[in-house]
Amino acid sequence: MTDIPTRPEPYLVSLNPDHIAEMGGAPVSLSAVAEELKAPRFRLHAAAHGDAGTPEVRALGIAHEEPQTLVVSLDDDGVEELKGQYGNALIIEKDIELDMFDHPRPPGAFAVASDRPPVAPHNFFAATSSEMVLEITVKDPEGRPVPRAEVSGRGSAAFSFDDAVTSAKGKAELVFFSETATTIRELRVKPSAGYWGIVIARPDLSGMPKRNGKLQISLTLQPLTLGDDEADIWGYKAMGLDRADATPPAERYVPRIAIIDSGIDPTHEDLSPLGGRDFTERGTPDTMWKNDLSGHGTHVAGTCGADFNAVGICGAAGPDAELYALSVFPGGRASSLVDALLWCIDHKIDVANMSLGSAQGTSALQQAVARAVAQGVCLVAAAGNAARAVMFPAAYDEVIAVSAIGAEGSFPANSPHTDHHGPHRAGPYFAAGFTCFGPQIDVAAPGVAVISCVPSEDNAAYAAWDGTSMAAPYVAGFVARLLSMRPDLQAHPRNRARCLALKSALIETCRDLGLPDEYQGHGMPVWPVDPERPEERVSVIRKLKQISNTLAAEIG
């Protein structure tokens, strides 16, 4: 019998703040730990790249003489060796992977091919084939092809699913087995940019023409509507930010905002990031942040800080806000987020947006969050798209956790955004079906059919996306704008009290939407609070409801 060793994996090593050194004992330093990890006895536990050798130890925080956290690849025995030497003086935990909160799945959809049920076996010995091929052409109202659009279809059986991407001619093929022209349950198109998607339930394909044995199907997409001016976006107007544009202060403080995400495309016509850093180790850190492979960070950046340049959209942060891109994707881990937060401290960032997270937290991440807030970095995070408990880092008390809402009439009725209607509705608003929820939610913001910037060849593309990722930057920008326009907030030193003051100022603007508290928190921030309009005052209905519940409990 052959024993197969476990492969080393990355761990976070940080000091335990609750550890008390023995009388007369020297305090543990991470610099000393880093040197200790280079000792011969650790070499056999760190063969991450083939041959056993000195473990690769990386210190987080490029501007700090003493490391805040270490990242080291070790196997199980190496971890036990380290624990045995330092006891509870160290916190040793796995460097967990982060999720980018992008594109929530519609009910019953599969995230990736590996999530799909196994395909039923095909009988290659049958006299006739049961294969049905749909040749789909996607075009705009003028008949021009729409390339790079995701096309998918679902049949009557659980395994009956196929997807493809349209070519330069706007064509894609879907293949189904054991289906007919009247058993396909759904066809769906998700464009990369520029158009609303479309969903066709129970399509009747029996009258479609055939060519070379393939059913010929043509689908027409409607262009996105950006409005008459750059402020004419439903989320921007719902939060009253168009009113803020009309009352700029005589002297505006310029906030510094970090978008911790997948990078920002600086060539987009509506974005002017001033700098950033890449924490993915995929290239030159000082420039690789410009390479946004997924478009997620670019979309988030547009919602938060798009330029006021009379084209496209404008950002929630208002004019003149400074954007910085900190890329932790692809391959984001807790260590890269910790490093990004330390960068925010060193570069005096005012507000950091995190449209990312994990179902579990780590001590190292929690310490980094606390350290950033203690240095005056206001942290805003998306709650998550898993329709369950709020994810980390949004779940930490120091972080402003944002859930997602949608609004009736803000997207076409036959678009994929309709998937995200949740069971909780109040007036025109609904809690997005995908949004995470719980007592940690602080505020809600638009997160369904949010139109923002995406990378493209012509540097002028926009797309409508869904997710708490899209809601969080509205709030991050809103907080930054509050800071830019209120001298009382600017007067605070850069410390925890400043972050608490910003959070309090944000909550004071919230309007109770009538949704459950675990979905809306204090409500949706609306600018400004008008004392002459009681319906816009600070969560009055919610506070009265809380008082009533408290009194009832005391009486009972």
Q: What residues are labeled active site? A: 261, 296, 469
φ, ψ of residue 86 in degrees (nearest 5): -110, -5
Residues 155, 156, 158, 159, CA torsion sign: negative
φ, ψ of residue 69 in degrees (nearest 5): -155, 150
Q: Do the beta carbons of residue 519 and residue 433 sit within 8 Å?
A: no
Q: Which of 392, 223, 234 is nearest to 313 (CA)?
A: 234
Quick one: tokens of 170?
A: 């706007």
What residue has token string 């920008």? 477
Alpha carbon distance, N-terminus to C-terminus of the chain: 68
Quick one: tokens of 101?
A: 């909160």
φ, ψ of residue 293 in degrees (nearest 5): -70, -35
Q: Which residues of 286-322 are buried (b: 16+ CB within 10 A; e: fewer)?
A: eebbbbbebbbbbbbbbbbbbbbeeebbbbbbbbebb
Q: How many residues are listed for the chain in this entry?
A: 556
Rounded-to-integer distance, Cα 460 and Cα 496, Å: 39
Pairing of strands 275-278, 351-354: unpaired
Q: How many helices (H) and strands (E) does the chain have?
A: 12, 27
Rounded-to-integer distance, Cα 40 and Cα 194, Å: 58
Range list of β-strands (E), 36-98: 57-60, 69-74, 90-94
φ, ψ of residue 153 in degrees (nearest 5): -145, 150
Alpha carbon distances (Å) from 27 to 113, 263, 387: 51, 39, 44
Q: What angle do CA 283, 287, 291 make, to 5 degrees?
A: 75
Rounded-to-integer distance, Cα 320 and Cα 193, Å: 26
Quick one: tokens of 410?
A: 């803000």
